[in-house]
Amino acid sequence: MTRQHRLAATVAGAAATALLLAGCANTATPTEDDRTTAPPLVIFAAASLQESFDELAQDFTAEHPEYPVDPIVYDGSQALATQIVDGASVDVIAFANEPSFEPVADADAAEASTIFATNTLQIAVAPGNPKGIDDLADLASDDLSVVLCAPEVPCGTASHTLLDDAGVEVTPVSEETNVTSVVTRVKNGEADAGLVYATDVAAAGEALEGITPANADAAVNRYPIAVSTNAPSPDAAQAFVDYVLSDAGQKILARYGFGQP
């Protein structure tokens, strides 16, 4: 074999080896960095769930790192329902009462819901209860500024149920679109009292004091959770719902004052 032929053979062998290695590289198992993760989980939740769901999401992602979670969207359940019916992209829906979920169900925008928690109302006042409020009847006084949730949102529906049951008529200085706004107004001294969830008073710590009405059991909110019909990440959504319903999830909710389903 001439020198020229030997060189040609060497080049051909090198090319064949390169092709073989390339083929092996294409069939190799992808590394962890190469694997794609699911789209971030999008959760719409009632405002009263903010502290508990932030913790639930943190623990969920620690247990399921393959399922990232976007910052949770919190608002009044009715406002969230409107967005969902109008086509908002969402994976998990968690509302503060069952009636607020009905428009979503009627629009076939979610799978069947499951009750995952309960909540009751308290009268939120400033620390030390400077106005000496003892029960719902005191809220009818013209000397008090009282703020309530709007009737169409869950905390407003519950508030009116509670007041009607007690035969008390209150003229609020404002009606807010979510319970967080009621809490904020009382905390900031813009109102003497407001009807909010017991969990909101607990979350406020020393900034608020709560008074449990004698007929608190007349208005118990049952919180539904569901996977959206068109969830971009259905597996992640179901995993999160399962986590909320699990013993670990229920213990977190209980720490924030929520009752068992």
Residues 173 and 191: their CA atoms lie apart, in Å, by 8
Closest-CA residue to 47 (of 90, 81, 78, 77) = 77
Measured over the CA atoms of residue 171, residue 172, residue 174 and residue 179, the dihedral's sign is negative
* Phi, psi angle pair for 209, to nearest 5°: -125, 140
Query: What are the CA-CA distances from residue 187 to residues 124, 157, 180, 181, 182 (Å)?
Result: 9, 22, 10, 10, 9
Give the pLDDT band of residue 182 (cuts 50, 70, 90): very high
List the alpha helices (DSSP H) in the chain: 3-27, 50-63, 77-85, 102-106, 154-166, 179-187, 198-204, 234-245, 247-255
pTM of the prediction? 0.79
What does the pLDDT look like over 129-169, one tens digit per residue? Answer: 999 999 999 999 999 999 999 999 999 999 999 999 999 99
Residue 70 carries which DSSP code? P
Q: Which pLDDT score is estimated for 193?
A: 98
Average pLDDT, the chain: 88
For residue 90, the SS3 value is: coil
Candidates 5, 57, 108, 66; CA nearest to 253 is: 57
Confirm if 91 and 230 have CB atoms less than 8 A apart: no
Which residues, at least 6 apart from 61, have a Cβ–Cβ distance to it below 8 Å? Answer: 67, 68, 69
Give the per-residue pLDDT at 2.
44
What mean pLDDT do residues 118-129 have? 97
Classify the C-alpha dihedral 110-94-158-217 as positive or negative. positive
Which residues have CB under 8 Å from 216's CB, separation 6+?
Answer: 120, 121, 122, 162
pLDDT at 52: 97
Q: Which is it for strands 209-211 and 121-125: parallel, antiparallel or unpaired?
A: antiparallel
- Domains of the chain, CATH where assigned: 43-118+222-255 (3.40.190.10), 121-218 (3.40.190.10)
Token digits of residue 124 = 């939120």
d(CA 85, CA 31): 40
10 pLDDT above the threshold of 50:
no
Would you say residue 214 has pLDDT above 90?
A: yes
User: Which of 176, 214, 197, 52 lies closest to 124, judged by CA?
Assistant: 197
* Per-residue model confidence as pLDDT tens digits over 36-89: 467 899 999 999 999 999 999 999 999 999 999 999 999 999 999 999 999 999
Residue 99: closest CA among 171, 25, 155, 36: 155
Is residue 97's pLDDT more than 90?
A: yes
What's the CA gap between 227 and 238, in Å, rounded? 6
Cα separation, 244 vs 116, in Å, equals 7
What's the Cα-to-Cα distance from 223 to each of 59, 70, 128, 180, 243, rounded to whole Å?
Answer: 20, 21, 31, 17, 15
Q: What is the pLDDT of residue 37?
A: 61
